[in-house]
Amino acid sequence: MPMSTQMKTGRDVDQLRQLALRMGGLAEEILEKALRATWRRDPALAASVMEDDLEIDRIDVEIDEAVLNVLALRAPVAIDLRQVVAINTMATDLERVGDLARNIAGCARRLCERDPIAPPAELRTLAEASQRALSESLGAFADLDVARARSVLSADNEIDAIESSVVRGAIARIQADPSTSGQQIDLMFIARNLERVGDHATNIAEHVVLAAGIEEPEAPGEALALGRDRRDRSAQGAKPRESEKQGSWEEESWSSTTSPTSSS
């Protein structure tokens, strides 16, 4: 590759990286805002999350277009190619995190309309673990730090275990006091969405391993195919986008399965 082309490619990839990191920072911000709205019972703060997610969607589209341009016009190779593929797939995970933050904000708004109950301490622990996984995966991407990425991968089982414990506790509280079923179901949804955030943080950590050169596609065409495959698998790891943004059908299902009278 001529030196001038290589320099232009490096510049374009760096711009892509900065765009992805900006998207990641915004995803972290709106997740934190959705959780703050939950803890503080702040409906106005929860409503603002809905608007912020639109900016994440816009950046996702911008990254899609930029990736296609870089692959078509620059034909990147080696580490540049690996980073383009990683950014392409990472954007999908960050867009999903934005959707999950919207879900949490929706639960927060509903909780504000119901009699107040204290969220269990384990839910806060789960929130901290999921936020930490997301932050660490983005930090690993910024530095192409494979060791840091692998630490995110190893923490995923802990997040799953905490989420399961939160759900079991909520079901037990519904059985003990059915009048709190609405609030407990919303808390279960928050836990479920936080667990998914952890899954997407794990995906991002896997993209870091790719970008650092553990997996290397041989050509831009193969890179694009690999990126699409990873984006597809990322999407399969969570609900399709429309159902991630609309949880009412799931809430109905959970209401029936967790109702104290359903097992009689």
pLDDT in tens, 198-249: 999 999 999 998 888 755 444 444 444 545 554 555 544 444 343 444 443 2
For residues 242 and 34, the model is more confident at 34
Q: Model pTM?
A: 0.80
Contact partners, residue 203, CB within 8 Å, separation at least 6 = 89, 90, 93, 230, 234, 237
The position carrying tokens 């995803």 is: 27
Supply 149's token pair: 């990425």
Q: What is the pLDDT of residues 122-157, one digit of tens each?
A: 999 999 999 999 999 999 999 999 999 999 999 999
Domains, the chain, in order of start with CATH, read 3-258 (1.20.58.220)
Return the closest-CA partner of residue 91 out of 192, 19, 12, 14: 19
Is residue 55 predicted with pLDDT exceeding 90? yes
Q: What is the pLDDT of residues 178-192, one digit of tens each?
A: 999 999 999 999 999
Return the closest-CA partner of residue 37 out of 28, 26, 27, 48: 48
Q: What's residue 5's pLDDT?
A: 58
Q: What is the pLDDT of residues 68-91, one digit of tens each?
A: 888 877 666 667 788 888 899 999
Mean of pLDDT values over 245-264:
40
